Structure 1
Amino acid sequence: MGQLAGRTVLITGGTRGIGRAIALRCAQESAQVAVVSRHGDGSAVVNEVRDIGGRCVAIDCDVRDEQQVEAAVARTVGELGGLDVVVNNAAALVLKGTAEISSDEYDTMAGVNTRGAFLVAKHALPHLQRSSNGHVLTLCPKPQLDERWFRANLAYTASKFGAGLLAFGLAAEQRPHGVASNALWPFTTIDTDGLAECSRAELRARPRTTAVLADAALWIITQDSTQFSGNFCIDEIVLREAGVTDFERYSAVPGTPQSALSQDHMVAPEQLARVKELRQQQKEQQL
């Protein structure tokens, strides 16, 4: 019996990349899993979860469409018997400036990254409030009023920071109901299809695998929802504070020094400082 035995986790964007990694990690801890994706074949993830010995349902759903979201939540509850955790992982990425981006591209990012996260949480809340440990986890960075984040990719940044505001606000709103809302973001770039499409070579060079986010997500959603909420988490900080010291296993390029990893471009200054502090502390402890 794992840490999530008897619990049901719904993950948007759950058929590939980070979402798939979180789904499999939850299944390893005995969770029932619903993977939601738009026009994505979820049979591979369903089979992988079954191979682990778990139960999984794949649901075709555009998170921008409220009726589809409502139906996806209802199907999850109907087939798996309840809902305890939502992971808002679905994301749209278009890295363009305001003059270059089309209105359709803007609408897609705003619809998936912000509206979609809101709709999934909205329709999940009645079920999460009945859970003994209800969690919403949104994959988004900490909002920061710093020009450097907006200068090159205004529309994308606004959509992801908007998701962060929703995650923070949901924590305050749902605290009386015992439902936690937290955000999670990687310290480094992550080896996914989205990264492969990125035009910036320095971001693609030395990423970590999706396993680092999956392990961090598991730690967050297994915390007491009445005690751990309203946090903007960084994967490495979460794991180091939880006692993890071996980060070499997360490197997509084996042997990459931790200092040479490709850092994600939306890490807040205080988060960067905390990573450096924890690395130094653990280094001194190992001497």
Structure 2
Amino acid sequence: MSSAQRPLADRTLVVSGGSRGIGLAIALGAAAQGANIVLLAKAAEPHPKLPGTVYTAVTDVEAVGAKGVAVVGDVRSEEDVQRAIDTAVQTFGGVDIVINNASAIATEPTESLSAKKYDLMMDINVRGTFLLTKAALPHLKKSPNAHVVTLAPPLNLDPYWLGAHPVYTVSKYGMTLLSLGWAQEHKHSGIGFSCLWPQTYIATSAVTNLADGDTLASSSRSPQIMADAAVQILTAPAKEANGQTYIDAHLLAAAGITDLSGYGGGDDPIWDIFVDKP
């Protein structure tokens, strides 16, 4: 494929939590379009229940003909995040795209949710999104058509979602509010701040490792749908994405892709949280 056919050629993408799952799928989708990939993740060693490490993820990136660099670090750490951005600049000359993917989830009722899990969700989801975006901003401002895509849902204030798991909801909506706030704060910068969220469950290890994971996975779509949706955002003008909160299936439909059967999930996939089923 020539550079003219690779719309993200010479663009550099930094993704948090990109060693597996949706983050890796998006990295590979961008890599297939020519992007350089910097992966920030804690997974330096194999996990007995989780596939892949940040190093195997780089191997996957290189397998599609792109360049990748692994940065072992914690998105909660200001120093680790800065090291990831510095690595991107030193290796590839800048930062053009940020994917705020790293996230923690705990859905226990408030009375049984530990303070440790509360802190974990707030620190990874909200603090991590803040730290990575903040560190990248000086470089994003120098980049033509820069994008920051945060994996967070549209703000659905239906009382059901507010009450289903209040702390997790606050942490994910916090990510969304940061994105919407940055879209306004930096509206003249040329950076497109947007959110992307799956319409349905996605068949990642977070799903398959549940007690009924195999059953859930059979009714979940492949991470590839999020990758394809993300590429639609990243290859479009940043000004069109700025301030948007996208659902993957809706975004693909707007691009003329309405047959989603290739992504799996069957005829009646499980709708994701924060998404109201018609």
Aligned with 1:209 (options 217, 222, 235): 222
**Larger CA deviation: 130-139 vs 226-235:** 226-235
- For 1:66-96, what per-residue CA distance to the aligned partner results, in whole angstroms no more than 9, with x for missing partners? 1111111111111121110000000101111
Within-5 A mapping of 1:1-287: 1=3, 2-40=6-44, 41-198=53-210, 204-252=217-265, 256-257=266-267, 260-267=268-275, 269=276
> 2-side partners of 1:125 and 1:145: how far apart?
30
CA distance in 1, matches of 2:87, 2:70: 10
Write out per-residue CA displacement over residues 223-254 of structure 1, whole angstroms, 9 at most, x where no aligned residue: 111232100100000001101132111015xx
The CA distance in 1 between the partners of 2:57 and 2:211, in whole Å, is: 29
* Overall identity of the aligned pairs, in %: 37
Deviations 1:181-205 (A, max 9, x none): 0000000100011122446878555
TM-score, normalised to structure 2, is 0.91
Structure 2, unaligned runs of 5 or more? 45-52
Give the structure-1-normalised TM-score. Answer: 0.88
Matched residue pairs, number? 265
Question: For the residues of structure 2 that align with 1:94 and 1:194, how far apart are their CA atoms?
Answer: 11
Post-superposition Cα deviations, 1:121-147, rounded to whole Å, max 9, x if no partner, equal 001000000000111000001122222
Q: 1:200-230 CA distances to partner (integer Å, 9 max, x unpaired)?
A: 8785550000000000001011111123210
Report the CA distance shift for 1:151/1:197 in structure 2 as closer, same or farther (over 3 A).
Answer: farther
* Local SS of the residue matching 2:69: strand
Output the CA distance in 1 between the equivalents of 2:156 and 2:211. 24
Preserved CA contact (<8 Å) 2:19 2:43: no
Q: Which runs of 5+ in 1 are unaligned?
A: 274-287
**Aligned-partner SS, 2:105:** coil
What one-letter code is carried by the residue in structure 2 that aligns with 1:248? S
CA distance in 2, matches of 1:115, 1:81: 26
Q: Does structure 2 retain, via aligned residues, the 8 Å contact 1:87–1:138?
A: yes
Q: Deviations over 1:137-190 (max 9, x none)?
A: 000011222221132311111100110100111111111111110000000100
Cα distance, 1:13 vs. partner? Answer: 0.8
